[in-house]
Chains A and B, each alone.
Chain A
Amino acid sequence: NAGVTQTPKFQVLKTGQSMTLQCAQDMNHNSMYWYRQDPGMGLRLIYYSASEGTTDKGEVPNGYNVSRLNKREFSLRLESAAPSQTSVYFCASRPRQGAADTEAFFGQGTRLTVV
């Protein structure tokens, strides 16, 4: 049981390049999330998808777009990367919309550097 799988694990981009971070979960969860982690700031929510077909902005959505391709997959796209987007990105999933008492399961993270 793989859980939440993120690809790639590491990436270096030049300023202005675009890329898509992929996330897939095999637990039949409805809700999926993208976070970024920066030193001293904890994890901040970029976008989330409460269920297939819906997406909503989180705390720091600027410069990002998302696609909930199907129930399993939730991708994060950087259209024009900036050095301020250098961070570690985590994808997470939870069983169902409204399941506030359930924990989130996290991927291993993508370490992105924009030069």
Chain B
Amino acid sequence: AQSVTQLDSHVSVSEGTPVLLRCNYSSSYSPSLFWYVQHPNKGLQLLLKYTSAATLVKGINGFEAEFKKSETSFHLTKPSAHMSDAAEYFCVVSGQNFGNEKLTFGTGTRLTIIP
């Protein structure tokens, strides 16, 4: 079984300040982890993914995430928020086993950027 918990349903930051979106996961196997972004009334776009290579993963638009197995966390960060970052963000876990590659989504974190 696998699950994802996004610890904050809503995060507000000022433009130019750091962003931290928190994600904890649970998986019976070594997981693959993803962050997706959804802008209003749009589909989902991949930001970055972790697949058991480097624990610090860099994604698009200046985002990065660090996989910490001891803490079962995969938090998303960005050094300096931009107005265009306002969106909903989803942390996603996938099993590694053949036939067990369902994607399980967190409930999402809505990021608001204050001008």
Contacts and interface: CB of A to CB of B under 8 A. Distances in A.
Interface of A: 31, 33, 35, 40-45, 48, 50, 58, 90, 92, 94, 97-101, 103-104, 106-109
B105 A42 contact: yes
A31 B102 CA distance: 10
B105 A44 contact: yes
A58 B101 CA distance: 12
Contact of A50 (B42, B101, B104): B101
Contacts, number: 63
B32 A100 contact: yes
A101 B90 contact: no
Interface string B63-99: 0000000000000000000000000001000111111
Contact of A101 (B32, B45, B98, B104): B32
A40 B105 CA distance: 12
Contact of A98 (B36, B43, B99): B99
B105 A100 contact: no
Contact of A100 (B45, B90, B101, B106): B101
A106 B51 contact: no
Given A100-B96, A106-B43, A106-B44, 14 more contacts: A33-B102, A35-B105, A40-B107, A43-B90, A43-B105, A45-B104, A50-B101, A92-B103, A97-B101, A98-B97, A98-B98, A98-B101, A104-B103, A106-B36
Given A48-B102, A100-B96, A42 B90 contact: yes
A42 B110 CA distance: 11
B9 interface: yes
Given A100-B32, A100-B94, A94 B101 contact: yes
A103 to B, nearest CB: 5
Given A100-B94, A100-B97, A58 B102 contact: yes
Contact of B103 (A40, A41, A45, A97): A45
Contacts of B102: 33, 45, 48, 58
Given A40-B107, A103-B34, A106-B44, A50 B99 contact: yes
Which 3 A-B residue pairings sit nearest by Cβ, starting from the closest?
A101-B51, A98-B98, A42-B105
